[in-house]
Amino acid sequence: MFRRAVAAALAATALTGTATAQKAGPGQNCPKDAPCCGLYMDCGVGAFCVQGCDPVHSHSLEACLPNPQCKSGDFKLNSLDDVQSIDKYLGDASKVNWVSQGKPVVFEDSILLTMAEGTVGTLLSSAHYIWYGKICARMTTSQGKGVVTAFIMMSDAKDEIDFEWVGVDIANVQSNYYSQGVTVYTNSRNLSIPGGNSVEQEHEYCIDWKPDTLTWAIDGKELRTVNRKDTWNSTSNRFDYPQTPSRIMLSLWPAGLPTNAKGTIDWAGGEIDWNSPYMSNGYYYAQIKSVSVECYDPPSGAKGKGQKSYVYTDRAATNNTVELSDKQVILGSLYATGEDPQEGASTASNAPKPTKSVNLVPGGNPGGGGRGDGADSSDPAATDAPDGQGAGGGNNGGNNGFSQNDGKGAGTSLQPGLGKVGGGAVAIVVAVLGLIVL
């Protein structure tokens, strides 16, 4: 079923005062002044170069920052101290383990991914990448028509492994995998959830990703396994198997927006009801309690011996083009790129910002993976990004119940230059990163 949600037409109609989007595509890489290619083929600088930077369609392999190597651990998601918003994270994975888009909120001993009307939800992604490993999330999901909760692995080359919960079916979760962005929906399989309820009952969902096998499990029970040897594609002369370093992405996103493709809306169970009884204080939410990561050894024959990062050595972007490296790059500002890491950096607090009009932060909610909405990104010259707190920032939303405020900590990421959208009925789809309630 065709489910890819494309919001380019929406963005062109609704966004005012933004930079002219530069796009990459087959045979056309991003230009030098916006060298980094995002998930939806938009070109930009800053956050475009840090995470989700496509090595195939960027201006050069050097434009994208090296991917920080895998970090094993049991991560208790009970505060925002270890979370930094996407417009503040410049690639230093030694300071934080998680990067946010939208508005995560602390509630009791967990983090809520929230989604209010007029927003595209919330994404929490790992700062470290994983090149094979076992990744588990303890969580509950959201519920309702058009509402999708996701726990996926996504590489910069668009290899993808999915758990997806469609809000009209809380008894099952969809498992799927893709290779290099080719969305073969026949790969999807439904997995039954023990007890038949993903909303009220907390479960542990695990992805066990090895060079030759890929397994999905719930509460310790293996429910599906894919063998790499069975994924050979004679047309492309390669295995259609996820094989490149990937980050963890936990998200809540609105597949049922009326502006999405009909196939996407139908798959999600219909258009979203913004007066749903499944909302709390005006928000849909999914609850993430913890994530555990067990890093596996790199695949046999991997290039290099570095212990700090993964880098691509060829635009083919397959596992034999990934090198283990000690290279680390941290951007000096949100105007910088891997090709010019210190662009816009200055020690003077009153130093002028660069004036070029270029996209700084990817739009949409990439947590939807191959089905997420792509949207244009903004012009930094229009308005400044909010003063966000970085690592160690305050608990946006607090610990005393589920309520949201206008705090500007790690849980809030207003895209520079993007406020409310003007014009017509489509104007309710706003603030690609900001979760601004109209």
Catalytic residue set: 160, 164
| Contact assessment for residue 22 and residue 43, using Cβ atoms and an 8 Å cutoff | yes
User: Closest Cα partner for 260 from 186, 185, 371, 169?
Assistant: 371
Q: What is d(CA 153, CA 163) in angstroms, rounded to the nearest whole number?
A: 9
Instruction: Provide the CA 247 distance to its chain's centre, in angstroms.
Output: 8
Q: Which two tokens stand for residue 91?
A: 């690639």
In the chain, what is the straight-line distance between the N-terminal and C-terminal CA atoms, in Å?
A: 33
Query: Which residues have a Cβ under 8 Å from the Cβ of 344 and sit 6 or more positions away?
Result: 332, 333, 334, 335, 336, 353, 354
